[in-house]
Amino acid sequence: MMTPQKRLTRVWRQMPFFVWLVALWMLLWGQFTLVAFLTGVAAAIFVTRVFRLPPVELSGRINGWYGLIFLVTFAIEVVRGSVVVALQVFDFRRQPGAAIIAVPLVIDDDLIMTHTAVTASLVPGSLLVDVDRDQRILYVHVVGVDSAADADAQRRHVQLWERRIVRAVGSRKQVAQISAHQNATAGGSA
C-alpha cells in the first residue's frame, strides 16, 4: 500500500505532464478561456486515468542557465537550418548529399533520448528515422553530407544536443556522466 507521502510525491512528479496535457488541449482548440482550461483538465484526468502509462521519472532538477542556452541555440539552429536547406534546394548546380548516420548517445534514459531525438528532428535538414533503445543509438537522416567528415560533424552535433539537454534538465548523476564521457573523449583524441 502506498503511503500518503509517496502518493503526493508521485502526483507532484507527474504534474508537469498533466499541465502539458491541459496546455496542449487549449492549443489544439486555439482558445485560452476558462471553459477551454476546465475541459482540458477534464480531458487530462480522463487520459491519465484511462490510459495507464508507466510514470516518467523526472530528475527534479532544472538549470535555468543551461535551459536558456538550449533554447537560444535551438532557435538559432532552426533559423540556420532553414536557410541552409533553402540554399541547398535552390542551388541547381548540385544535389546536396544525404546520409543516414548512427548517433550513439551517452545517457541511458528514455526521456533524455526522446528530447534529443525530437530536437534533432526539429532542426531543418535532419530527421529521426529509427531508434535502437537497447544500444542507445539514434539513426538520423541528414541532408548536406558529402563525406565521412560531414557525417562525423553531424553526429557530434546531435551528441551536443544531448549534452545541452542533460545540463538543462538531467539529474546530477547524468550531468556527471556526460561530463566524464566528454572528458574521456577529449583526452582520447588529444
Domain residue extents for the chain: 4-50, 64-189
Burial grade of 80 (CB within 10 A; 0-12, 13-18, 19 or more): middle
Digit-by-digit pLDDT tens for the chain (190 residues) are 678 887 777 777 677 778 888 888 888 888 889 999 999 999 988 888 887 766 666 666 788 899 999 999 999 999 999 999 999 888 888 888 899 999 999 999 888 999 999 999 999 999 999 999 999 999 999 998 999 999 999 999 999 999 999 999 888 899 999 999 988 887 654 3
All three cell numbers of 71: 533554447
pLDDT at 190: 39
Closest CA relative to residue 163, chosen from 154, 172, 174:
174
Contact 154, 123 (CB under 8 A): no
Total residues belonging to the chain:
190
Q: pTM for the full model?
A: 0.72
